[in-house]
Chains A and B, each alone.
Chain A
């Protein structure tokens, strides 16, 4: 699969990552190489094989509906880059 400039920009946006536009050509080539390598897996016949969703064989690892002690308000906010006494603060989202 070929990664072009448009797709590269879209992936960068979705991942919220910035990159130096001058390196775009190199990145397109790199990512194309990675995808081509992964595509080697397509050579295997997976007809009738369910997709693997978990590495564990356990099922129904559930909990009862019980409230347990959780984080205190102070500890919850402790590592936030921006906060006030009540809220996490983030850059304005709505225009």
Chain B
């Protein structure tokens, strides 16, 4: 279909993002939340819904949920109750999920998204509430039964619900990327979509362009990566537009995304009729968030990535691209922060991070946390370059790899040991320059006639003969003088 057809419709997308909180114990009981243990080993009588057991709220869950609320400028509910969402499913032993319906811990708020090749947009949040995860059902083709593992049951979740503000799959992608970065900065969730600690359902509908009445909405599930969220939405828009063009009805339903085919299909489960009959849970006491508690949480808030980007661009004059790469993860950002607490060469520091450091991490597939070169030692190397004793390329290609391994020697010691200190003796450099000028009389004539581009060739020759160890600034000056 061509763009003309698509332009007849406006796409409306709302997301529901579930994030597993990184607590040690579950939300309403003290069994472990550890991922990857043998089935049904992280369970308690509360998790399994045995009669006569009472849930008790994990304080840290509240703190983590408030952190993300503060990061999104949500209003924090001071008086919270919990509600039962009733439905029958084997991975929900109690027959209800303990969630928040009437009093979500965070109300409203916004998240700014930066979709690729488009303007930044503010997406409004409807709410963020806390609830428990369900167990895991395995429907194996070779098994006549469904197998249930309750290790995940009771793991704390936040559910982030947007207003239907998103208009393109790219914006949905950007929103999720933003949330993933936020939860990682806030240290509340590992943000791993493949392992399911960050999950996303999307509601999507189309309406004629210019209309303000939303069309029938379709819910899409089972998108386990940022890329798949975008693919699923792209496919679903195409499907809905095609139906609308043919004059066929779009049915309000839940569809599941198939990663292999890139398409969505209607979900057929035995459970069709849903009526959650929410009502307040009488087992959990109301939760009151006091001023003191809120202030204590606020005080521990880290600087958020968007604030860091702003600082790097406005105060350190770094390109926005650099600023974004440097703040991509909290760990990279704090490494960079430590470098620039020792030097004000911001752009040089950024170049080191984006070039040699990133390449090293990529080549060795390690995270910055496992990188052996400390920021202080990297600054030591930067200062050696600054002093003109070695060039950036010698520093990054020859000294840097040695410094990573040899954690005792200074940059200068390594440079001396490897005989890499640049020649700054003008006499020796002048000799090289003279030799080069004498060896290429034709080129010298051409240069003098106006082919100034040849300077690069002369420089290259001088540097080659100097084995990269001459101060390029001095060589350049001498060369210009000689050539006239």
Interface on A for B, CB 8 Å cutoff? Answer: 10, 13-14, 16, 51, 53-56, 58-68, 70-71, 73, 76-77, 82, 84, 86-95
Contact = CB atoms under 8 A, between A and B. Distances in A.
A73 B31 contact: no
24 contacts: A10-B273, A10-B275, A53-B280, A53-B281, A54-B81, A55-B282, A60-B286, A61-B56, A61-B285, A62-B58, A62-B59, A63-B30, A65-B25, A68-B30, A68-B31, A70-B31, A71-B44, A89-B148, A90-B145, A90-B146, A92-B144, A92-B146, A93-B139, A93-B271
A91 B146 contact: yes
B285 A58 contact: yes
Please name the 7 residue pairs, one residue from A and one from B, whose CB atoms are nearest each other, closest first: A53-B280, A87-B147, A65-B60, A70-B44, A68-B30, A89-B145, A70-B31
Given A73-B40, A73-B41, A60 B58 contact: no
Given A59-B285, A61-B57, A88 B40 contact: yes
B24 interface: yes
Given A56-B285, A58-B285, A94 B43 contact: no
B138 interface: yes
Given A53-B280, A66-B30, A93-B139, A82 B275 contact: no
A62 B29 CA distance: 10
A16 to B, nearest CB: 6
A89 B147 contact: yes
Nearest to A72: B41
Instruction: Give the interface SS of chain A, mostly helix, strand, loop or mixed.
Output: loop
Nearest to B21: A65
Nearest to B271: A93
Contacts of A92: 139, 143-146
Interface in B132-177: 137-139, 143-150
A94 B140 CA distance: 10
Interface string B48-67: 10000000111111100000
B288 A60 contact: yes
A66 B40 contact: no
B324 to A, nearest CB: 33
Nearest to B293: A60
Contact of A70 (B42, B61, B90, B149): B42
Given A54-B286, A58-B285, A63-B57, A86 B40 contact: yes
Contacts of B268: 95
Given A62-B59, A64-B59, A91 B145 contact: yes
A65 B145 contact: no
Interface of B: 23-25, 29-32, 38-45, 47-48, 56-62, 81, 86, 88-90, 137-139, 143-150, 268-271, 273, 275, 277, 280-282, 284-288
Q: Which of A13, A54, A58 has the most CB of B within 10 A?
A: A54
A88 B81 CA distance: 32
B38 A86 contact: yes
Nearest to A86: B39
A88 B60 contact: no
A94 B269 contact: yes
Contacts of B90: 88, 90, 93
B35 to A, nearest CB: 14
A88 B42 contact: no
B25 A93 contact: no
Nearest to B81: A53
B280 A51 contact: yes
Contacts of B40: 73, 76-77, 86-88
B273 A89 contact: no
A93 B137 contact: yes
B286 to A, nearest CB: 5
B48 A76 contact: yes
Nearest to B156: A65
B64 to A, nearest CB: 10
Nearest to B44: A70
A79 to B, nearest CB: 9
Nearest to A84: B147
Nearest to A65: B60
Nearest to B56: A63
A62 B39 CA distance: 28
A88 to B, nearest CB: 4
